Each structure stands twice: as structure tokens, then as C-alpha cells.
Amino acid sequence: MDGTRTNDAEAVGPRPARTNALPLAGIRVLDVTQVMAGPFCTMLLGDLGADVIKVEPPETGDQTRGAMGFKLKGNDSMGFLNLNRNKRSITLNLKNPAGRTAFLKLVERADIVVENYRPGVVKKLGIDYDTLSAINPRLVYASISGFGQTGPWADRPGFDLMAQAMSGVMSVTGHPGGPPVKAGVPVADIGCALFATYAILSAYIGCRSTGRGQFIDASLFEAALAFSIWDISEYWGTGRVPEPLGTANRMSAPYQAVRAADGYFVMGATNQKLWRKLCQELGRAELLDDPRYADIPSRLANRAILIAELETTFITRPAEQWVARLLAVGIPAGRMNSYPEAFEGVHGRHRQMRLEIDHPVEGKLPNIGFPVKLAGTPQQIRRHPPLLGEHTDEVLAEFGLERDRLEELRRQGAFTL
């Protein structure tokens, strides 16, 4: 690769056809990742039109293919199937010289590489950034890890649970005095995927003017830390170490789950105007004259007794009635849904947050919908989550490996363990 290409139209070799001018159409991504953060990042790129080539170990593939405690019709877990649409799969043994040769052929015409090996592994395999950028100077290369590529913890294995604990996220999750509780969703994994995606796209845009790609170091630990805005702001501002608050909020009260006659709902009177409306709607005008609740700092200092006081009224009616009444006067409120209720409810259906994909083994396959909507170039399901190695010969032929050369690499063990 001579590093002189300035736009997609000048690229050597066949490019995937543009489909409704998706914004990333024509961009080639080599996805050398497994489990969650990396595959989610590359799926987002694929949803926007990139040609994502998932490079998997022979026989086993992405370890998430065999994860979860239940089986579908085929060998792939529902988790894998929700993290890998809009990709093609090839199998390469990167520990084998022939497999590495095939991979380097792909690198010549790739735009982006994303990997999530533990730090140091890609150097041993000969697919690190320094090696690959010498072949393709325009390459944007993202490494996703638990704790980053440098630092005292860099060599540690990193998963979402460890990142939540070691970043402090777990210290503020749960209820005061209770046992440790992790966030119910993998905030470090998903956060890292999102931050990596924004960095990749930024670096790619920069490369279009500079002609040089760059290395991106993304970690679950730092992604989790980046979510600590209110908590660390409280500590830096007051010196008080943040503690768990249950469903409450550090910035305002009342703003949390409250008990009604038939269960909980959430509501937020987060400023003086909404606080006055709440007291009026509840018929509790006396609370407006109570100095313990006079302003936000006072209500925060007396949150526990304030919520107990409000719940003496809330428990007189069902949650849905309170939600309707509060919304009618402009106070934010909502019911506590299960995931099935959220996905299958009227709003989830309207926002198309459950999609169905035609899959060659599973048939109609449910998938989580696109979390943002582009009006001019809406994301599309262009490819089902790939079967292991489904596109190996197809992809390698596209990248210039002739049939005889493919057979030679196959005999040398490029595609098997």
C-alpha cells in the first residue's frame, strides 16, 4: 500500500456496492474481536454501511457463539446473534504463518482494524499497529482492552464486572448499606464500544485530510470512569466519597422510584416549579411551607424523610393513576417496565426496537433495533449474523487471493487449527 489514496473512489479492488448511500458504505473494517465491546462497536459501523469482515479463530469462532445457558436451532447464541449482524465471517488461524499471510493481504486494502486481545498479544502474532501501518499507512487501528495498553493494570484480563468494580461504578450502585451490586446492563462494555466508535470515525475523517491513520487505545475502565460525572463532581466539590443512593439522584430530590398502592413508579420534581406543582397535585400544600423542603439543597439533605412523607400519599392510588396525573401537569413520571414490556409496548414497537432478521439456520430471528435513527440514510439490515467462516473464500478472493493461492494457504493450515 503506497499511502496515496485520498478517497474511496480511488481504492484498489472491488468495493461493496452502495446501498441507499449509507454513510459508511465503501469503508472496510477488519473485526478481530470477540464477546461484547468489540463486536458491538463493529456492528454499529456495519449498521451504517461499512463492510465489516469478522476474523474468527477456526472451529470455535467468537467465544460468544457458544455462550449463554440455552440453545437455539443452530450453534450460535442469541447474544452472538444480537452483536454481529451486518458482518461477513472468515476463519483464519493467526498463529499460523499462512493465516497471518492471508490477514496481511486483507490489511493492504482495509480502512479500519478493531481488535480486543490482551495487550501484547497482537505484537506476538505480528498484527500490531506498527506492523500493519507499515503495510497500510492510512489504517485506523483500535485496540479495546480492560484497562488500556499501558499502566500498572494493563496486563490484567478485563471484563465488564471488573471494570465496574475497579472504576468505582459499583461503589455507587445499589442501596446504602447493602451488598455490592453491579449495574444491570454492561455499562463498561457498551460505553467502551461507543467511545471506540466515535474515536474510529474521528480518526477516519482525519485520515482523509492527512493521509495517515492512527492508533486508538480504548478501555472498559476508562469508559466506566467517564460515566461518573455527577458522582465525581460531588467528591471534587465537597470531599465526600459518593455512596449508593438506590434510585435517587445526587442533583435533585424528589427524583427516584416511589411506592404506590400496587408497586413502584418513577417521578422527578427536579426544580422549584415542578416541586410546587407536585405539592399542589398531591394536595400537600403544607410541604411548601416546611423549611426542610424549601429548596433543592434542603430536599437533598432530607431526602429520606421527604420520600417517606410523599409515599403516605402515593400509596393511596395505583402507580398508573399517579403517572397519568403527574404527566398531565407536566411532571416527568413513568412506570417501571420489564424488558418484554419495553420492547413490546406501544412506544417500543413504534420506535422499531425489535427487528426480525431472516437467518439461514434460525429462520425469523429477533434483533435489537437501531438505537438512533438517521432520517436521510437510515440504517439497514443488509446481512444476517454470519455463520462461522461463511464468507472466507468470498472475502479472500475479493482481496486479491487467487484460487490456487487460497488452496496453497489452506494446505499450509491458514484456515484450521
Q: Are 47 and 22 in contact (CB under 8 A)?
A: no
* 8 pLDDT more than 90: no
Q: For this structure, is 358 an active site residue?
A: no
Span 125-173, pLDDT tens digits: 999 999 999 999 999 999 999 999 999 999 999 899 999 999 999 999 9
- CA-to-CA dists, residue 85 to 71, 134, 196, 398, angstroms: 19, 31, 18, 20
Tell whether 21 is covered by a domain: no
| Domain contains 108 | yes
Are 183 and 47 in a shared domain? yes
pLDDT above 90 covers what percent of the chain? 93
Closest-CA residue to 336 (of 277, 258, 393): 258
Q: Could you tell me if 260 and 222 lie in one domain?
A: no
Say if residue 385 is preceded by a cis peptide, omega within 30 of 0. Answer: no
- Contact present, 342 and 348 (Cβ < 8 Å): yes
Chain centroid to CA 18: 25
Q: Is the per-residue pLDDT at 253 higher than 90?
A: yes
Same domain? 85 vs 202: yes
- Residues 310, 398, single domain; the answer is no
pTM of the full predicted structure? 0.92
Alpha-carbon distance of 105 to 402, in angstroms, equals 12
Number of domains forming the structure of the chain? 2
Q: How confident is the model at residue 20 (pLDDT cuts 50, 70, 90)?
A: low
Among 189, 217, 358, 393, the one annotated catalytic: 189
98 or 9: which carries more pLDDT confidence?
98
Same domain, yes or no: 281 and 214: no
pLDDT for 79 equals 97
Q: How confident is the model at residue 377 (pLDDT cuts 50, 70, 90)?
A: very high
Distance, first Cα to last Cα, the chain: 29
Backbone torsions φ then ψ of 114, nearest 5 degrees: -125, 125
- Same domain? For 186 and 57 the reply is yes
Mean pLDDT to the nearest integer, 254-260: 98
Q: How far apart are CA 209 and CA 185, in angstroms?
A: 38
Q: Where in the sequence is the domain holding 323, given as residue range(s)?
A: 255-337
Is residue 239 domain-resident?
Answer: no
Do both 219 and 263 map to the same domain? no
Q: Which three cell numbers mark 265?
A: 413508579
**Residue 67 shares a structural domain with residue 158:** yes
* Same domain? 191 vs 60: yes
Of 11-25, 72-86, 382-396, minimum mean pLDDT range: 11-25
Position 417 in a domain: no
Give the residue-averaged pLDDT of 223-251: 96
Same domain for 363 and 330: no
| Cα gap 316→318, rounded to integer Å | 7
Decide: residue 293, CB within 10 A, 0-12 exposed, 13-18 middle, 19+ buried: buried
What's the pLDDT band for 243 if we cut at 50, 70, 90? very high
Segment 228-238 mean pLDDT? 96
Residue 267 belongs to some domain of the structure: yes
With respect to residue 160, please indicate whether it lies within any of the assigned structural domains: yes
335-374 CB burial, b ≥16 within 10 A, e <16: beeeeeeebeeeebeeeebeeebebeebeebebebbeeee
d(CA 337, CA 198): 30
Q: What is the mean pLDDT of the chain?
A: 94
- pLDDT over 70 for what percent of the chain? 95
Whether residue 208 lies inside any domain: the answer is: yes
Judgement on whether residues 260 and 219 belong to the same structural domain of the protein: no
Strand partners, 42: none
Assign residue 293 the CATH number of its domain. 3.30.1540.10
**Residue 294, pLDDT above cutoff 80:** yes
CATH number, residue 63: 3.40.50.10540
Widest Cα–Cα separation across the chain: 86
> Tens digit of pLDDT for each residue in 323-334?
999 999 999 999
Q: Are 23 and 49 in contact (CB under 8 A)?
A: yes
Tell me, yes or no, whether 138 and 284 share the same domain: no
Is residue 352 one of the residues assigned to a domain?
no
Give the pLDDT of residue 16.
Answer: 46
Task: Say what the pLDDT of residue 391 is.
Answer: 97
Mean pLDDT of 281-288: 97
Whether the predicted pLDDT of 13 surpasses 80: no
